[in-house]
Amino acid sequence: MRYGRLVIGLAALCVSLLCQATARADHNAAAAAVGASGSDTSAWTVIFRSDDPKLWNTDAGNPSQANGFAVGLDAAPEGVRYLRLRRLDSGDAVIVAIGREQLPRTVNLDSELIWIGNAAIRGPQGNQNKLLGIARRSWATKNQQDDLVGRAPKKLNSGFRGWGFSKAASPDPSQSYSWAGQRIDKTVFEIAVKGGELTHLEELSLLSFGPDAAPRQGPARQKPGSSLPDAQSSADLHESLVSRPTTRPAKLQTSIEALYVVPQDTGGMLGLASRFILTATPGAPGSAEGSTPVSFATPVGPEMHMVLDDVLRAINLKYGVSGVSKVELSFEDKYTAKDGGSIGAAIGTLILSMIQGFDIDPNLAITGDVSADGKIRRIGGVAAKLRGAAEAQCKLVAVPAENYEQVQDALAYEGPGIFANVQVLGIGDLEEAMAIVRSDRDPKLAQAIDLFAQIQQAMGKSSAYIYGRDAHAKLTQVLALAPNHYSAKLLLMVNGRNLPRLSARASEYYTFVAVESMWETMHVQAQAGATPQLTAAATDAALKELHKLRPLADLRVQPYVDAWIDFIQGCDQLRQGTTTWQMVETKHQALLNEGIKLDANRDLAEKMLHEGI
């Protein structure tokens, strides 16, 4: 029967609500082997660890001291392919591709990067520059006070900045410590080399520059044999914030209202809001690679783990964090396990709030999946989530721009009153999400929000207000200030007496919700060996919902709704003894035929495939 198709459709819908993320990779960092070469080319061989560049490539270091370790270059593997320069205070690291023969000298790695492996460069007066590190040509120095890792011997006030340290060519014994071209406090640097492939996590630290001198990441690869994490594990550690340049977090704790749905037995969805909290713990990173692990502190399913990975991939391209040992994400409702990719937008804005330090509007709720390029992707359960946000007294809701049609469906089914207490704004990527969630918004957006609040107040006094001239003028002004204000855009349609119809997918979904309890009653009767028949209460409830739905439904789905109404009425007449089973079977066959027509409409089927609810 057609109901079977609806059951399959609901199952697919439930999956789409929860599983909107891409496969995650399992990243295992290579262990650093201090001073050990051996034949394991996948391990890092440490050949220098000190706060003194004079120890480079000598036997002067004392491995028993915290700041003294250096070995001869003969300890390096024969097939060196990569060099890693790391700060031991924060664990931040940068990696360059290099050959073994290039280690002890100054070499241009490409058109932009320079490796300075010399312990000293003699100046014109016989004095020496002590330097060691990686320099970037486009980061030029202008005076002796700049943070140098490179210094041209003939022009003492010029050179390049980068990662590492140097001593000026003067009697001044002080050294300059640099990271990403900026001055840092005195620290111990470590140099390690390896001959094997980089892990995915290591590739995030690979320095590479194109013709435009703009940094780019190494290629991302998933490790063979990676597996999904245990859904209940709170110790699962994800890709971490290791990009360049790094910065200490501006906030150690921040939170936002996250929206999710709970399927009901009736086939409907209950929308809920829960405070979602990020907590960063100060300290040095704890992993072998010196990265900052990010994990869930409350039980979540695999889809949330997967979207966390994609959020971190997107943020790692622009930002990095140092001085943090771990970052934990937790729900205020910590005893109920949750899952679904729609948490991605909340994760991304919390991490950006931690890095940049902006406050998040406590009256705002957010939902949205996130892809690895930082785009906000569509989610399901939009109408339910809007109801959940209103129930939680959230004034603003940020939803994916791709879900505009589902916001329109919510208006079509529930009426203009759905926007009486919440303002819905669309977001296309994490940057747009950040602009909306922050308390210190752009003045134009803040003005649009305040103006729409005036409209809501007037709607509360009179439901007819939305159809008047004042409403039209203010809604037009809101859209001019904030083109992504979906509540204003849709209410302007209502103002023009142009209430939209439901999408085809929403029309079919609400049909299923209307008939689910009625059909369940008949199913239970059949299982008990009784002749399936409707009760008066089940009939009345189903017909009430279907009659509400019919004038709103997509015109292509409307005949299907009519067939359900006719079939249910026939079943009710059979219960009352005013018709025969043969007549009901005829109506049943008509219902099946309408379902087959929907399935056979390829254009409609493809459209519904991409629509959500």
Tens digits of per-residue pLDDT, 425-469?
Answer: 999 999 999 999 999 999 999 999 999 999 999 999 999 999 999
Higher pLDDT: 301 or 426? It is 426
For residues 237 and 197, membership in a common domain is answered with no
Same domain, 91 and 172: yes
- Tell me if 516 is assigned to some domain: yes
Phi/psi of residue 604, nearest 5 degrees: -70, -40
Question: Both 358 and 275 in a single domain?
Answer: yes
Confidence of residue 140 (pLDDT cuts 50, 70, 90): confident
**Most trustworthy range by pLDDT among 105-114, 359-368, 534-543:** 359-368
Quote the pLDDT of residue 239. Answer: 52
Same domain, 197 and 237: no
CA distance 53 to 224: 39
For residues 176 and 239, membership in a common domain is answered with: no
Could you give the CA distance from residue 341 to residue 21 in angstroms, rounded to a whole number?
6
User: Mean pLDDT, the chain, as a whole number?
Assistant: 79
Determine the structural domain holding residue 359 and report its residue range: 233-441
Whether the per-residue pLDDT at 164 is higher than 60: the answer is: yes
Predicted confidence band of residue 218 (pLDDT cuts 50, 70, 90): very low
Between residues 348 and 93, the one the model is more confident about: 348
How many Å apart are CA 223 and CA 593, to the nearest integer?
Answer: 49
pTM: 0.62
Last residue of a domain, one of 426, 441, 456: 441
Judged against a pLDDT cut of 80, whether residue 149 lies above it is answered with no
Same domain? 257 vs 120: no
Is the alpha carbon torsion for 473, 475, 478, 479 positive or negative? negative
Beta bridge partners of 140: 160
Residue showing tokens 């100046």: 123
Q: Which residue has the higher pLDDT, 577 or 160?
A: 577
Domain membership flag for residue 4: no
pLDDT over threshold 70, residue 245: no
**Residue 18 within any structural domain of the chain:** no
Contacts of 342 (CB under 8 A, 6+ apart): 17, 20, 259, 260, 367, 368, 369, 379, 380, 381
pLDDT, mean of residues 188-199: 88
Q: Which of 441, 467, 490 is the last residue of a domain?
A: 441
Q: Are residues 511 and 568 in the same domain?
A: yes
Q: What is the pLDDT of residues 488-521, one digit of tens each?
A: 999 999 999 888 899 999 999 999 989 887 777 7
Question: Residue 240 — very low, low, confident or very high, per pLDDT cuts 50/70/90?
Answer: low
So what's the pLDDT on residue 123? Answer: 47
pLDDT value at residue 158: 58
Q: Quick one: DSSP state of residue 359?
A: P
Q: Is residue 13 part of a domain?
A: no
438: which strand partners?
A: 360
Asked whether residue 409 is domain-assigned, the answer is yes
291 compared with 221, residue with greater pLDDT: 291
Tell me how far apart the alpha carbons of residues 47 and 49 are, in angstroms, rounded to a whole number: 7
Do 353 and 406 belong to one domain?
Answer: yes
CATH number, domain with residue 345: 3.30.230.10
**Do both 327 and 244 map to the same domain?**
yes
Number of compact structural domains in the chain? 3
Specify whether 139 is located in the same domain as 242: no
pLDDT of residue 143: 62
Q: Is residue 25 part of a domain?
A: no
> Do the domain assignments include residue 214?
no
63: enclosing H helix or E strand: none
Q: Is residue 20 part of a domain?
A: no
Tell me which of 32 and 150 has the higher pLDDT.
150
Query: Do 240 and 386 reside in the same domain of the chain?
Result: yes
